[in-house]
Every structure is written in C-alpha cells, then in structure tokens.
Amino acid sequence: MYIHYEFNLRNFAFLPQNQKEQVSYLNSVLRPHITQLREFAGLERALVANTIARGEPFPRETMRRIKHYRSIVEQSLEQVLLLKGQPSTSKEMEPAIMTFEQGFMQSFQVLRGPVFAASQQQEEAVRAASIQLLKKKASLENYLAGISSNLLNMSRHHSVTALVKGLVENEAEQLDERLIAVETLFEHFAKIHKKVYQIRYLDNIGQERVRVESENHITTIVRGKHLQNKSHRYYFQHAINLQPVIAY
C-alpha cells in the first residue's frame, strides 16, 4: 500500500505543469518509460504467443513471469497516460497518446483476456480429469483388492485344499467328488460376482482341472477334453513363480 502511494506521489511530482517542464519530462522520464514499456510488453506477448503455439495451459512459472512483466508495463503506461488532458500537452500529442493507448495496449488486452480465460478453463478441465482419473484408479485398485481377497479365501476353502491334497499325493480315490466340489464352489462364486466371466483351477504343470465360465448370467462347467493346458501362457509362467498368497 505504501509503495502504491509512493508511486502516486512520484507521478504527481514529475507531472509537467508548463511547456518548459514538459521538455524535461519527455527526455528524462517519459522516454525511458516508453522504452521499458515496449520491452516488457514485448516479453509478455512473446510468452503468451509461445504458450498459445504449444496449445497448453499457462504453466505457473509462465503466469508468474507474465504478471511481473504486466506490473512493469502498467507502471510505465501510467506515466504516459498522465499526459492526457493536461494543459501543457499539445493538441498533436493528445491524439497520439490516445492512439498509442488504443493500438499498443487495448487491442492486445482484447486478445489477452480470452486467451487467459481459455487457459484457465483448460487448466480446470485438466485438473478435473486428473481428479476423475485418480478416483477411477482408486476404484479399480479397490476392486482388484477385493478380487485378490476373494481368490485367497477360495484357495483356503476346504474343497480346494482337499483337491490340492489329492492331486499332490496322487490320490485317485474321491478325485471326481473333489473336482465336483470345487466346480460347485466356482459356480456359486461366478453367480454372485457378475463381472467374473471365467474361473480356472490350474495344477502345477498348467493343466486345467476345473473351469467355470459365465456369460449373460449363465454359468457353464467345462469338463473332460475341453479342459486345456495353459503351461505356455504368460500368466501361468509368471504366476507359478510367485510366492504363496500373492495374486498375479
């Protein structure tokens, strides 16, 4: 606030009151301000033009620099506009100042405003999309965590552990009953979890022992020659090397 008052006091002190003072004012004060105005307005426009050419929102650092340049431009412009309507300002200079103001600053401001507004809208759209993406990512991670938890619980189900024991120990007796028990477990799971379209149980060499498919809320148990060997598939080759209770 005090700095603003100081600039007002400086402007009042330097404002020419007669023709003699005006000559001194034009040479020592106004000319340097016009030079500074042109330099920093040019820098501001270059930043704006480069950002427009890239088709991106204005980065924070670019906006900071633009605001810095704009503050210098406005201070310098204020010195020029002080001459408007002053008795010491000649009739020739008055329209020249107005033309300068219109051509040099206002026309650019007409473009500058919509560009900044569009950049702000684009930045807000990107921010909203990022937030939405984070929400979807969290939702997907929660869903996958739920699937992993369900798979872990199924792997500990007594029907699955009984089947594993029978296969590992090569127990032929009751193998069919154990397979049917796991098929029933998988079928119930598929009916409850509508998004699951296929559940397989593969043994340690990649051979399907149980497969249940679900489509349009209709479950099908696949048996016999339709069961496949998946030892060559990437997901089996990766999963077989994982530690216990780790989901691939």
The 10 Å Cβ neighbour count of residue 116 is 15
Distance CA 120, CA 50 (A): 16
CATH superfamily of 156-239: PAS domain (3.30.450.20)
Classify each residue of 120-137 as buried b or exposed e, where b means 16 or more C-beta atoms within 10 Å of its C-beta.
eeebeeeeeeeeeeeeee
Distance CA 40, CA 46 (A): 10
pLDDT at 48: 78
pLDDT averages per 10-residue partition of the chain, 248 residues: 40 52 62 78 80 74 82 79 72 76 66 69 79 87 87 91 90 88 94 89 93 91 94 92 83
Residue 236's identity, in one-letter code, is F
Are 248 and 242 in contact by the 8 Å Cβ rule? The answer is yes
Residue 77's contacts (CB-CB under 8 Å, 6 or more residues apart) are: 37, 101, 105
Write the DSSP assignment of 178-198 as a string of letters: HHHHHHHHHHHHHHH-TT--E
pLDDT at 13: 43
pTM of the model: 0.50
Question: Domain map of the chain by residue range?
Answer: 2-135, 156-239
Task: Give the bridge partners for 200, in sequence order.
Answer: 211
CA-wise closest residue to 22 among 74, 86, 77: 86
pLDDT at 18: 58
pLDDT at 77: 78
Tokens, residue 185? 């477990």
